[in-house]
Amino acid sequence: MDKHNNLEQNIIDFIEYKDVKPITKGSYERILFEYMKYVNSLPKPPTRENVKKYRNILGNRLKATSTQKHIVVIRNFYEWLYAEGRGDNIAIGIKGVRIENDFKREPLSKKQAHNLLEYAASISGRSILELRNFAMISLMITTGLRTIEVERSDKNDIHFIEDAQALFVMGKGRDDKDSYVKLSPQVFDLISEYLFSRSDDYDPLFINHGRNQKRARISTRTISKTVKEYFQDVGILGSKYTAHSLRHTAATMAMLEGAGLHSTQHMLRHKSPNTTQIYLHKLTRRQEFYEKKISESLFGDILENREDKK
């Protein structure tokens, strides 16, 4: 397409030039060809303001982390374009978006987690959709899987390891399914029940069952939306509770059940124990209530005396 200085060929050449893994090249391709659709809708060649406007468009429909990834790739593309003498770097200095730290997400309390599973179980007999949701949420809250790991999971990723069935997953920043989480008997049985009810030959572990995207692999967006809806149904409200809260819940529950730092690190597949340490700090903080002790020490019988004088 030659509408704006052969943008398509430049994108192809840029992707070929990048010395990155195939899965990363695929991600670059999706991002840049999506950007190309936007550029081709413009009456004139894109400007710096157009790139900034596109960032805002992305921000309205994608998570901050996804928007940031798109902007980084677009910036890299224009840097390469300028270095190759093929065009101006119209994205220079354009800022990304603010990314909220995942650790601002709150884990569920044991009671909240129980209520969530109890509710999911109570409606799991309505249809295969609710059965899928029950199996999926149970998997996430007991293993700490990320939404992207759930999306990438296939039926044939389940294998018997030592004393349990295990699900091999492609973790964050990985190209292969070289790590795994163990499935409890309860979760394995729920997944088996769901797969038996499907009785199909599709590879994905979890698929869509709606009319429009029937049989397609479930997406992270659908997973996040589903979990959020279940949260709301049981009264778990607020922006700090998202699908990622299930991962935090698994970490918190593991530590409450006696798991050490390194065991929790291995379960969550963190590269550094420092990341897992944050979960431990948050757990300790949730259990502490020094504010109450300070208040009791300072107030004494002040409030009681105040009531007596009324």
DSSP-based three-state secondary structure for 18:
coil
pLDDT of the residue at 162: 82
Pair 191, 135: CB distance under 8 Å: yes
Ranking 17-26, 65-74, 138-147, 171-180 by mean pLDDT, the lowest is 171-180
User: pLDDT per residue over 77-90, tens digit each?
Assistant: 999 999 999 999 99
User: pLDDT per residue over 295-310, tens digit each?
Assistant: 777 777 766 776 777 6
User: pLDDT per residue over 197-219, tens digit each?
Assistant: 998 889 999 999 977 766 789 99
Looking at residue 125, its amino acid is: G
Name residues whose C-beta falls within 8 Å of residue 306's C-beta, 6 or more positions apart in sequence: none
If one counts every other C-beta atom within 10 angstroms of the C-beta of residue 183, the result is 22
Q: Count Cα atoms within 13 angstroms, Cβ side, for 110.
A: 9
Helix (H) or strand (E) holding 159: strand 158-161
Pair 233, 119: CB distance under 8 Å: yes
Looking at residue 188, its amino acid is: F
Q: Is the dihedral of CA 211, 213, 217, 221 positive or negative?
A: negative
Q: Partners of 182 in the beta sheet?
A: 166
User: pLDDT per residue over 230-239, tens digit each?
Assistant: 999 999 999 8
Mean pLDDT of the chain: 85
Q: Rounded to whole angstroms, how far apart are CA atoms 227 and 238?
A: 13
Backbone angles phi, psi at 266, to 5 degrees: -65, -40
116 pLDDT band (50/70/90 cuts)? very high
Backbone angles phi, psi at 204, to 5 degrees: -60, 145
If one counts every other C-beta atom within 10 angstroms of the C-beta of residue 71, the result is 23
pLDDT of the residue at 12: 94
The percent of residues in the chain predicted with pLDDT above 90, rounded, is 52
Residue 3 has pLDDT above 50, yes or no: no
* Cα→Cα distances 199→1, 155, 157, 196, 259, Å: 44, 12, 17, 5, 37
pLDDT of the residue at 207: 96
Pair 181, 145: CB distance under 8 Å: yes
Ranking 128-142, 143-157, 246-260 by mean pLDDT, the lowest is 246-260
Q: Rounded to whole angstroms, how far apart are CA atoms 188 and 182?
A: 9
- Per-residue pLDDT, averaged over 11-23, amounts to 90
74 pLDDT band (50/70/90 cuts)? very high
Q: Rounded to whole angstroms, how far apart are CA atoms 154 and 205?
A: 4
Residue 33 has pLDDT above 90, yes or no: yes
User: pLDDT per residue over 235-272, tens digit each?
Assistant: 999 988 999 999 888 888 887 777 776 677 767 776 66
Q: Rounded to whole angstroms, how far apart are CA atoms 158 and 259?
A: 24
pLDDT of the residue at 101: 53
Torsion of CA 303, 305, 307, 310, to 10 degrees: -140
What are the structural domains of the chain? 7-99 (1.10.150.130), 103-287 (1.10.443.10)
Pair 48, 90: CB distance under 8 Å: yes
